[in-house]
Structure formats: structure tokens, C-alpha cells
A and B are shown apart, each in its own frame.
Chain A
């Protein structure tokens, strides 16, 4: 699962975010390192939604956070609207981050429990010395589907999970961002509320002209909201695919495994080959293609040589030696 390739990059496009050779490693004691993200590249066009899909431990969250420089990546470049973010001074980075906002998985934990909604939403601009007027806060609260009069003086514990996520989105919008990074924004919400937030993100994106990186593990959710999907496995990119063709035209064996694993009404047991293997440790990832230990197509070549992203039909890119391109 190599994904060190750059065949899927679009240097001619109107790119708002460009990430090249991103590496994120964490020390794990005993001289070992967790290889969370191992040299991935991707870009985000203006107005586009890029979905990053993968299971836990695939590095999707680390990649999203590294874009925000939270913390800065071990190596690699992150160019946002023409500015290279790595190596910026803290003050210059803060300036850039206004335009680059993140929405987190657990909205209740993301909000200071002691502050009221009005202060939570006003927090971003107030950091910059401005005191946003009441009208502006009300406008943004309405934009995220909250009734300002009701929630104005409430604290997070008086709101439901879905409402807290709406407050988090409002907080991000107060700074007029260009790019929104959503890290599993709906996975802690109930099914019926999840749809509300997904619809809200779509509306918000259109209304404020945002570009979005949407990180999640749920295939149907990612497909619903994204234009383009990047599938990650153990810190590498497997496949970059236009979201409309994810279900029918997936090429990579890992993407196919994910698709087969989606529980469905009427699915019978044992349609896919029994597959008991689990992801290897990111402390000591396999050589060559990182998926080879679970891959039905794996050969000697996969252990020796890391596959690079190759172009397939229809804007589709896959990093596999054996996929039919």
C-alpha cells in the first residue's frame, strides 16, 4: 500500500491545500517509533471535499492534524493557499490557522464545559482582540440551525451531542475559514442526528464557499459527502477514487475488503473469503506493500517493492502491483 506516489496530484488545478510526502512519527519508548503516516501526498481543490477513509490506526487523524500543524509533521510539506505552513513562526501560523479550522469527533469534549454558547462561539474572534457583535454571532448560530434565543446562555451540558456539534461548526465559521477539516464529525452521534449534521455540513460548505477534508471510517458517510476519496491503510495511501465510483469500481484489494465488510440487509455470511487477520502494528510495519499480510493477491514482489500510485481510468489512482488498471 504504498502510496508514496504522486500520480494523483493535480498541479494544474486550483489547489487550496497541497500536502507532499507527509510523514508523522511518534516516539514509542525503547527507541521505537509509531509510523502513523509514512509519506503521503494529497491536494484539495477550491470547493472540493476530499474524504479520507480508513480504519483505526491508518493515520487518517494524524494526517488531518498534521495539516493543522497540531503537532507539525515529522517531515513533508503542507502548502495552504500558497503559504508553506511547516516552519512558520508561531505568530504567522496562528494567522494562517484562522482560515483552516478543524471539527473534532467528540463535540462535547471539544467545548469548554464552563462557558456559555455565546462565549464559545465568540472565542475565535476574541482571541484576535475583536469583540464580535451580537448580530454576527446570532447569524452564525442561525446558519448552523440553532435558535440563538434558546441556546445563547446555555452551557454544553445543557445541549445534546448534535447541538454541541452545531456549536463547534459555528465556532469554526466565525473566523471565515477557507478549509474545514472534519475529523469523524458524526461518529459519536445518533443515526438520526448524523444525517442532520451531514446535511448541515453540505449546506455550510455551499453557503460559505468552503473546501473540506472529511475524515471518517464509515464508507457510506464518506461517499455521501465527498467528491474524491483517499483510502488509507497503515500510514499509506491505497487508492484515490472519485466518490461516485467507490462502490462499483474500487480496484485496491483493501478497498474491496472494506466494501465487503459493510453490514447490509440481506448480506449472507461467508460471501467473502474468511479473513481473520488484523492490521499489523504501526511500530513495525511490513516491508513493501503494507497490506500484503492480509492481501489475497500478495506475491513476493509485494514484500520487496512498495507499489506506487498508478493512474487508472476516470481520475482513479491505485497503489497495488496486482490491481487490474
Chain B
């Protein structure tokens, strides 16, 4: 991307990103050739089961995972015109402070139990923002108010254990927002929370997206969480993108058999009790020992010989792409 188009172009552009992790059992291709872009102010959803590579993808984009003794990262993740993996370590750290923020799954372990809430926030404000102690504290209070924490001034002097799970997650979100990033990566931000609190946090993320114009990557195993919030959704399976489409189109007319099966396997509140669920046979593949060809083929009811031989690539038109030799046509997108 041209430097001059930085402000107009996508906030993130990922090109053929691969993360290979060396383990005792051989090399695991956790992320295996993923490309997509996230527009400014967009809510981009990534859905997948455990082992699909969705979290590794999020961390690789952020540069938390990079080439080292145990892993190899190839491809590009260009954030605001800067290739995250080409940056020197010091620059990358600066990027974490200002360009991109991350919200983790478990707010309890994301916060340091022996540091007060205020310290969590002022640390990066002072280091990256160069604020004075008093200014950082004032800004921290503002951030807590922004994420909907009542009595923000009092909360600054509390320890994480004095807050509920939902409040802790709000603090983690406030921390991620401290540097006014253009992209927020939320990795299963509500999985550790109760249903009623989950809704509050999702509402908060949606509000931040519209009020601050922050682009958000929402990673979740829960289709419904992503469905109601994201503009576009990517479905991951075994390290690759199975389908990428605008949320409405994806849920109305999935083209990849995995997406279709995943949607059908979730119990719906509208169905009568004791409805037999359309379970997907088998389990997600072991990514250290992947099948040849399409990775979903062993569990796919449409699979034919070519599926087992040749790995499908993303094809499609109108922003609705899918990696399948024999896409689902019923309900057509």
C-alpha cells in the first residue's frame, strides 16, 4: 500500500499470512495462508472452533507472534501502512501502545493482581503518550468513564480482584483504548462472562466502534456473538479461511459446507424442545497431521474425490468468497 493512501486505505491488510509453530510432534501450520483487509471503523468477525487458528491469527497480526526459535511467520500484516513483521522490536512496541490494542479472553489473567486499576492505565499513557502523572490519571479516569464504569475515580484505586468479571473486562478494554488505536483486536472478549454481561460488553464494543471510529476484529467461537455485530465475517477451519462474506449474506446463504453445518448444529431458541440437532460428524482435524486436500473433506457430506486431492482456494464474487470445490447452492447468496 502506498504511504499516501494511509488514511484512506484499509486499516489492516493481511496478505498470505502463515504462522508455523515447531513442536515436538512436528511443524504445526496454525495459520496457513490467510489474506483479508479490515476497513476503517469496520467490525470484522472471525469465527472458528478451537484449533482453527483464530487466536494465533489475531496474535500474529498484532506481532505478538513473530519469527523466532519456535515459530516462523511469513506473509504480511500491514497495519496503517506499516508491515508489523518488518518493524524493529522497539517500533513494534510503540505500535502496541498506539496503533493496535488487544482485548483478551480472560480479564482476570490479563490484569496484574498486585497493581491497582489506575496503574494499568497510566503506565502506557505515560510511556507512549508522554503524559504527566496527573494528566495520565485524569485521562485514565476519562477512559474508565468511556467504557461505562461507574465511579471511575474510586475504581482507579481498587485492585482487579475488587471488580466483577464484567468490570474487569471493561478495564482491559480501556487499557487497549488508551493509545487511541485505529484497530482493536478482541479475542473471545465475552467467553469468560455471563450471558447478561456478555451483551453489555458487546454493546460497549459496538458503541466504541461507532463513537470512536475504531476498527474492531472480533474473534469468537460463537457464531451468534459475531453474527449480530460484525459487518463482515470470516469463518476459519484448520488454519485456513473457509468463507468470508458480509455477515448478512453469510448467515442467510452460507456457501461453504462447513459454515452451513456449523449454523445447523447450534440449537435455536425458536425450535421446539427435543429437536434433533444436525451434528457435524467427527472432530476438527489435528493440525499437526492434516488431511490432504480440503481440510474439511473428512467431515463434509458433499465431499468427492477431488476434495481429498486438491486444496481449494478462496473464490467467489461480490465480497462473498469461499474455499470449496462444491459450494452449497441452496438458499443461494
Contact = CB atoms under 8 A, between A and B. Distances in A.
Interface of A: 55-56, 160, 162-163, 190-196, 198-199, 202, 217-221, 223-227, 243-244, 246-247, 257-270, 272, 274-276, 278
Interface in B267-310: 267-281, 283-284
Contact of A243 (B222, B248, B265, B273): B273
A260 B203 CA distance: 12
A269 B203 CA distance: 6
B71 interface: no
Contacts of A163: 283
20 contacts: A163-B283, A190-B283, A192-B279, A192-B280, A192-B283, A195-B266, A196-B279, A196-B280, A196-B281, A202-B274, A217-B194, A223-B267, A223-B271, A224-B277, A225-B274, A244-B272, A262-B195, A263-B228, A269-B203, A274-B203
A219 B49 contact: no
A219 B207 CA distance: 26
Nearest to A51: B273
For B148, B224, B248, B262, which residue has the most chain A Cβ atoms within 10 angstroms?
B224
| Binding site secondary structure of chain A | helix
A195 B267 contact: yes
B261 interface: yes
B273 A219 contact: no
Contacts of A160: 283
B273 A191 contact: no
For B200, B251, B277, which residue has the most chain A Cβ atoms within 10 angstroms?
B277
B227 interface: yes
B292 to A, nearest CB: 21
A263 B267 CA distance: 13
A264 B206 CA distance: 14
A246 B222 CA distance: 22
The 5 closest A-B pairs by CB, nearest first: A265-B227, A195-B279, A195-B277, A195-B265, A224-B267
B221 interface: yes
B225 interface: yes
B278 A195 contact: yes
A190 B225 contact: no
A130 to B, nearest CB: 33
Given A190-B49, A224-B271, A263-B202, A257 B196 contact: yes
A193 B283 contact: yes
A207 to B, nearest CB: 14
Contacts of B200: 275-276
B272 A261 contact: no
B273 A264 contact: no
Contacts of B281: 196
B283 A55 contact: no
A276 B195 contact: no
